[in-house]
A and B are shown apart, each in its own frame.
Chain A
Amino acid sequence: MIAIVSGLPRSGTSLMMQMLQAGGHPILCDDQRAADEHNPRGYLEYDKVRRLRSDNTWLAEADGKAVKVVSLLLYHLPAGFEYRILFVRRDLDEVMRSQERMLATRGTADGAEMRVHFERHLQSVKEWIGRQPTMHIHEVNYTDLLDQAETSARAVAAFLGRELDIDRMTAAVDRNLYRQRKA
């Protein structure tokens, strides 16, 4: 079984990975993308994931571990594994503000259009996951991770069927890093 932490970039996937790591769940990541001002505690990403569309031969390395896969790349996960997907959801306006801070220039679509594109994409990928027999999804609300960390951590551990250190998972949540909260 592979635990997948997914969602849109800047939706809280790094926090979810940090919680899993703190709780004792093995994770698959490398040091290709270092911590920065946008994510001071690190991204916990695996560089090969970015090429998942053209190369999934590495995926066996993730068996028994948790790996971050951005939502758009979920479509490219091959059959042959069982996936438990922790799909982190966050207010789209917050996600977009946070992303735009990271981008040197704005995206190709304007804010209102981009929001519609994200909504359609999230709906589409959720429906698609629902049709995949080897994929199971547990939606995690980013605000709940911050406001109800222990409850969220317990739900995550139950979904993954793992004995995780709930106290350490809860302690991994640093509310001071939640800077893009909706006004």
Chain B
Amino acid sequence: MFEPKVKIERSLYDSLKRAASAAGYSSVDEFIIHILEKTVAEIETAQSEEEVRKRLQGLGYVE
């Protein structure tokens, strides 16, 4: 299985580790994956709503 790895600075990792612990995550990995999934979903939703806006504008439903 392909498992990409991302390098981050040690200081950021330490901050993430503390935040993960404070938020009750079982591991830093779990915390980071959750943040990334949430962020990607937000960006994708924003992109989608822009495309929907363009479509609705074309149909005359929004200005």
- The docked-state distance in angstroms from the alpha carbon of A57 to that of B35 is 38
- The docked-state distance in angstroms from the alpha carbon of A107 to that of B55 is 6
Q: Does A103 belong to the interface (CB within 8 Å)?
A: yes
- The docked-state distance in angstroms from the alpha carbon of A54 to that of B63 is 9
The listed residue with most A CB atoms (<10 A of its CB), out of B45, B47, B59, is B59
SS of B interface (majority): helix
| A72 and B63 contacting across the interface, CB-CB below 8 Å | no
- The docked-state distance in angstroms from the alpha carbon of A51 to that of B55 is 16
- For the A-B complex, the count of residue pairs with Cβ-Cβ distances under 8 Å equals 61
Which residue of A has the minimal Cβ distance to B41? A120
Q: Does A99 belong to the interface (CB within 8 Å)?
A: yes
- Point out the residues of chain B lying under 8 angstroms from A118, CB to CB: 48, 52
Closest 6 CB pairs of A and B: A117-B48, A120-B48, A117-B51, A70-B61, A121-B52, A107-B55
Q: Does B38 belong to the interface (CB within 8 Å)?
A: no
Partner among B44, B47, B56, B60 whose Cβ is within 8 Å of the Cβ of A72: B56
Q: Does A113 belong to the interface (CB within 8 Å)?
A: yes
- The docked-state distance in angstroms from the alpha carbon of A70 to that of B60 is 11
Question: B37 to nearest A CB, angstroms?
Answer: 14
- The docked-state distance in angstroms from the alpha carbon of A117 to that of B54 is 11
- A sample of 10 more A-B contacts (CB under 8 A), given A103-B58, A107-B55, A124-B45, is A50-B60, A54-B63, A70-B61, A117-B48, A117-B52, A118-B48, A118-B52, A120-B45, A120-B48, A121-B49
| B48 and A121 contacting across the interface, CB-CB below 8 Å | yes
| A109 and B51 contacting across the interface, CB-CB below 8 Å | yes
- Point out the residues of chain A lying under 8 angstroms from B52, CB to CB: 72, 117-118, 121
Q: Does A108 belong to the interface (CB within 8 Å)?
A: yes
| A50 and B48 contacting across the interface, CB-CB below 8 Å | no
| A51 and B63 contacting across the interface, CB-CB below 8 Å | yes
